[in-house]
Structure 1
C-alpha cells in the first residue's frame, strides 16, 4: 500500500519583483496513516510553505516542482473539482492563530458545520465538540466568548468535520499557556491513536514536537537538514541547527540555561509595591473577582516573573500596576508613594514605568516608520532634547545598529525579533525605571527568544532597569528572573526566589504548571 502522504523532490519558488525566490528545495517526506510527523524550524525556513503545498493553498505567485502524493494521487495534477473534493474530506488544515482564523461574527457551531454542508458529511457538531473535549453548549458561542485553548479546539473540530485521513496542524499551540497546550496536544495525540489519522505537526518548539511526534524533520533555508525518529533526533542531533533549536528553550532546573549571573541576584529596595490589590469586573453575569488581595514587590534593578495560565489575572494585575485600571481595593506604591490619580500625575508615572506589549506586530502602527514609532512617546511626554538623537540612542540600547539605518523602515520590513526591539526602544526612549513586559517572547522563534532575553538582562546590567515579566513560560522564568510569583484564579499562591519556587514548589498549582511543561528529554 502507498503511504498516506509522500513528497518527492518538492520545490516551491515565489515570483517577486527581484525574480524567483526558492522557498523550498528538494524536500522528500513520507507519512503513514496513524503516524505523526513533526516539521521543525524557524520562521522563513519553508515549513509552512511545505504544509500549504499539500492542498495547493499557496498564493498564485508560487511555482511548485516535484510530486505531492496523497493516497498515491498527485495533488499537483488534480483538477479543481477533484481538489475541492479532497480538501476537508481527505485532508484538512488547522491553521496557525485560531484568534484570527475564526469568523468573529458567526457562532462557532455554524463554522464547524460549514464544511459538513459543503461536502455532504453526516457528522454532528455536538459529536465533534465531544471529540475535542468541549461541551455541546459551546456551539452557540462566538469566538470572543472562548479562551485561546477553546478556540484552538474549535479549529481542530472543524478540521475533523469531514473525517479526513490527514490533518496538518500549523503551530497549533503557539501563545497557549502550558496547561492548555498540554490539553491540546493530548487531544491531537488521542485522535491519531483512536482514529488512525496521519498528523503533520509544524512548530519551532522542539519540546512540543518531542511530546507528540513519532518522526521529526528539521528544516533550514528551505531544505531538510535532519530527519529520523523524534526522540533520536532530539537526543542526538547531528546537524548544528538542530542542536541550536534544542538548546534554545530553557530546561527548568538546568543551570546551563540560567542566564542570570550570581552577582546579578541582589537585595534591592522596593521600587513598585502592590498591597492587598483587588480588581473586580462587573458585567451581565454579575461580578467577576479578577484579582484578589495581591501583595507583590519589585525591587530596583530586579526581574520578577509573574506566571500562570490564561485567565489567572496576570494581565489585569499588570494593567492595574501601570495605572491603566483603578483597583477595587488595595493600593499601588511607587518608591513609597501611592499612584497619583490625576491625568498629569499618571502621565509622569508612566514615564517611569513602561509597558512592552505581547504582540509586536499589533503594537506597531503599520504605516509608521521605526523613527515615528519610537518618537511618539517622546512627543506625548514632551521630552526635551534633540528628538533624532534620543530616538537613535533608544534604538542603539535595543541593539538596532546602526540606528539611523532603521529610521525610515516600516514594520513589515522587519523580522519578528526586530519588531520586538522597536517596541522595547519606544519604551526605553522615555528613560523608565521599570519595564512591564507582557509575554515578550511568546510568538518569537527559538533563537530570537534568546536574543530578546539577553537584551533584557543587558538593560538591567547597564541601566539598572527593573522588569516585571508576565508569562506562562516557566522556562523563561528560570532563565532570567530573580524571583517568581505564581498566580491562580486571581490569587498569588506562591512567590519567592526562582530556585525555591521552581525546584521545590510548595503549592499544588505550581506543581501542576511544572508537570505540564513539555520537555525534549523522555
Structure 2
C-alpha cells in the first residue's frame, strides 16, 4: 500500500533576530490511507510546526528541508495554484482554538460553505446556493448538529458545538487527510469523548487518514493506532498507541503518561507528577467539621436569555469549604460551576440564598465586601488573559496590595513571588508576561492572589491551558500552599484526574444543582448519581480497578 503521507528527514527552522532556531529535525513518519497517527509532546516540542508544514501553513520566516510526500507528491515543491487546490480538497486542518479560528461576525453555515465555493466538486462550475445549503446541512448532520445551527453565530454555540463546526469545515471538500491540532483542549470529558468518537467514526466510515496532535497521551491512545512522541524537535519514540501508553520507554514519554493520572490509582493521590518531591499527605484526611470557612446555603442565580426565558444557572446549591481543605467542583461546561464561583466571590448577586465567610453573611457591598475579597481570592484559568501584557511581574502582583492599601509594597510582592515558588523573586520583577513560560505566568497569577494573604483560593480551571509537566508543578504548588499556609481552596474543573490528584472532597454539578458531594474516594470510586458515572465513563484512559485503589 502506498502511503497517504510520508515525511522524509523533515527539518524546520525559523529565522529570528538572534539567528536561526531549529524547531524540527530529521523527522521520518508514514501514514497509510485510513490510518490514524497521534503526535504527542509539550509546547515547543515541534509537533504543531511539523503538522503545519504538511500544508505549508508556516510563516515566511520558516525554512523547510527534507520531503513532505502527500499521495507521492512533494508539497515543498508545489506551485501556489496546486497547493491551493490541495488545501481543503485533499488535506485539511482542524485548528486548536475553535473560538479563535471561527469568524465571530459570520454565521457558521456561511463559514462551512466557504471552502465549498472555493473548491467546487465540479471543476470550473460554481455550485448553486441550494446545492451549497444542502451540503452544509449534510455536513452538520455528519458531525451530529441539527441543520438549524447553520444560522447561529459562534458565540451562540458551546465549546463542543464550535469544535464540531470546525470538523464539518474540514470535511467540506471530502479530503483524504485530516490534521487535528489539539481538538479537545479545554473541552470537558463528556464533550471530549463525543468529539473523539466522532473523529473515530468519520475515519472508519470515510476511510480518512487522521493525524491528531495532543499533549495528552490518554486522548491519543483512545483514538490513534500509533503514537509518535516528539521532544526537542525529534521523534523520540513511535509505537502502537495502547502499547506506548501502558509501557512508555523514553523518559519524556513516561513523563507525559504520568502527567494525567488514572482516577483510582493510589500512587497519584496527593502526588501530581512533578520533578520536585512532595512530602506525603495524610493518607486518610478526615471530613472536616465545625464552621466552614466559605459556605453557600440554598444559593440560586438565574439569567434571562435573548427570548426572555429565565435560565436557572445555580438552583439551590449548598456547598462548604473548610479550613485546610481542597474541594473540587466538577461538571461539564454550562453546568453552572463558574456562575457559582462568581457568586461566592461577590462578583454576581444571587436571586436568593446566602454566602457566608467564617460563619458570617458576606456583605453585598461597601467596606465589608472589600474586606471579604481580601480573604477569598480568584485564580483565573488563562494566565495569558489574566495578565496585562504591558505590565511587569512586579506591577501585576502589586495591584492587589495597592488597591487594599497594604504597607511595604515591595516586600509584599517579593514574599508573594517566593510563596508561588518563583525563585529568586528579584529575578522576575521586571519581566513582562511574554518573557515567561506558561507555568511561570500561572505562578504570577497565583502570586497576585497570595499577595493579599487570603484564607481561600478559588481557582477556575487553573491548569487547563498548561503543558502536562507544568500541570503537575502547579498542582503540587497548591498542595504545598495548603500545607505551609493553611490555605483552603475551591478548584473548579472538568478534569477528574485533577480532583483525584489534589482534592479532599468533590462536589459534582449538573444543570445548576449539586447532584453528589463527598470525599474523593466516595464520589470517584463509588459514584451514586448517573451523571457522575457518565463523567467517569467518558475518561479516555478509564479508571483504575477498584482493587488497585484499596477498595
User: Under a length normalisation based on structure 1, what TM-score does the superposition of the two structures give?
Assistant: 0.98
- Please state how far the C-alpha of 1:284 moved relative to its aligned partner: 2.7
Q: Which residue of 1 aligns with 2:427?
A: 405
Cα distance, 1:264 vs. partner? 7.7
Aligned to 1:248: 259
Q: Give distance in 2, aligned partners of 1:167 and 1:346.
A: 52
Match 2:497 to one of 466, 470, 475: 475
Does the 8 Å CA contact 2:262/2:543 hold for their aligned counterparts?
A: no
Alignment partners' CA distance in 2, 1:156 and 1:446: 25
The answer to whether the aligner puts 1:321 opposite 2:341 as a matched pair is no
Q: CA deviation at 1:28?
A: 0.3
Task: Classify the secondary structure of the residue corresponding to 1:312.
Answer: coil
- Alpha-carbon distance between aligned partners in 1 of 2:298 and 2:542, rounded to the nearest angstrom: 40
Q: 1:151 aligns with which of 162, 165, 169?
A: 162
Q: Work out whether 1:299 is the aligned partner of 2:322.
A: yes
User: In structure 2, what is the equivalent of residue 262 of structure 1?
Assistant: 282
Counterpart contact for 2:536–2:543, Cα < 8 Å: no
Do structure 1's residue 490 and structure 2's residue 512 form an aligned pair? yes
For residues 222 and 366 of structure 1, the distance between their equivalents in structure 2, rounded to whole angstroms, comes to 28
CA contact (8 A) 1:248 1:446 kept: yes
| Corresponding residue for residue 225 of structure 2 | 214
CA distance in 2 between partners of 1:157 and 1:416 (Å):
31
Q: What secondary structure, in the 3-state scheme, does the structure 1 residue paired with 2:88 have?
A: coil
Q: Does 1:446 align with 2:494?
A: no
State the Cα deviation string for residues 466-487 of structure 1 (Å, max 9, x = none): 0000001111101100000000
Instruction: Show the counterpart of 1:234.
Output: 245
CA displacement, residues 440-465 of structure 1 (integer Å, 9 cap, x when unaligned)? 01111111110000000000000000
Pair 1:90-2:101 in alignment: no
2:34 matched residue in structure 1 = 34
Aligned to 2:110: 110
Cα pair 1:354 1:436 within 8 Å, conserved: yes
Residue pairs, 1:368-517, within 5 angstroms: 368-384=391-407, 386-517=408-539
Q: Is the 8 A contact 1:235 1:521 kept in 2?
A: no
CA displacement at 1:263 relative to structure 2:
5.8
Q: Distance in 1 between matches of 2:248 and 2:311?
A: 49
Mean Cα deviation higher: 114-123 or 332-341: 114-123
1:57 maps onto 2:54 in alignment: no
**Residues of 2 paired with 1:59 and 1:342: CA distance?**
50
Alpha-carbon distance in 2 for matches of 1:348, 1:459: 22
In the alignment, the residues of structure 2 paired with residue 232 and residue 304 of structure 1 have an alpha-carbon distance, to the nearest angstrom, of 34
Verify the 8 A CA contact 1:268 1:302 in the aligned structure 2.
no
* Counterpart for residue 308 of structure 1: 331
Equivalence for 2:75 = 75
Q: CA deviation at 1:18?
A: 1.2
**Structure 1 runs not aligned, ≥5 long:** none
The answer to whether the aligner puts 1:138 opposite 2:149 as a matched pair is yes
Q: Residues 206 and 520 of structure 1 are in contact (CA less than 8 Å); yes or no, is this contact kept in structure 2?
A: no
Output the CA distance in 1 between the equivalents of 2:543 and 2:461: 25
Aligned to 2:306: 284
**Structure 1 consecutive aligned stretches of length 4 or more whose deviation exceeds 3 Å:** none
Partner of 2:548: none
Are the counterparts in 1 of residues 170 and 178 from structure 2 also a CA contact under 8 Å? yes
Equivalent position of 1:350 in the other structure = 373
> How far 1:10 moved relative to its partner?
0.2
Specify the alignment match of 1:126 in structure 2. 137
**CA-to-aligned-CA distance 1:193-242 (integer Å, 9 cap, x gap):** 00001000000000000100001100000000000111111222111111
Assess, with a 3 A threshold, how the Cα gap between structure 1 residues 521 and 287 changes in structure 2: closer, same or farther: closer
Within the candidate set 189, 200, 209, 1:178 is matched to: 189
Aligned with 2:204 (options 193, 218, 227): 193
Secondary structure of the corresponding residue to residue 443 of structure 1: coil
Change in CA separation of 1:202 and 1:251 when aligned onto 2, cut-off 3 Å:
same
Cα separation, partners in 2 of 1:476 and 1:521, compared to 1, 3 Å: closer
- Normalized against structure 2, the TM-score is what? 0.93
Contact 1:369–1:411 under 8 Å retained in 2: yes
The whole-number CA distance in structure 1 between the counterparts of 2:154 and 2:523 is 35
Q: Is the 8 A contact 1:92 1:168 kept in 2?
A: yes
User: Do the aligned residues in 1 keep the contact of 2:536 with 2:542 (CA within 8 Å)?
Assistant: no
2:263 and 2:543 in contact (8 A); partners too: no
Conserved 8 A contact 1:171-1:201: yes
SS of corresponding position for 1:262: coil
- Residue 264 of structure 2 contacts residue 543 of structure 2 at CA under 8 Å; is this kept in 1? no
Output the CA distance in 1 between the equivalents of 2:539 and 2:117. 39
Distance in structure 2 (CA, Å) of the matches to 1:445 and 1:283 = 36
The one-character-per-residue Cα deviations of 1:106-125 (angstroms, maximum 9, x if unpaired) are 00000010111011146610
Gaps spanning 5+ residues in structure 2: where?
Answer: 122-126, 272-280, 545-551
CA contact (8 A) 1:234 1:520 kept: no
C-alpha contact (below 8 Å) 1:211/1:520 kept by paired residues? no
SS at match of 1:310: coil
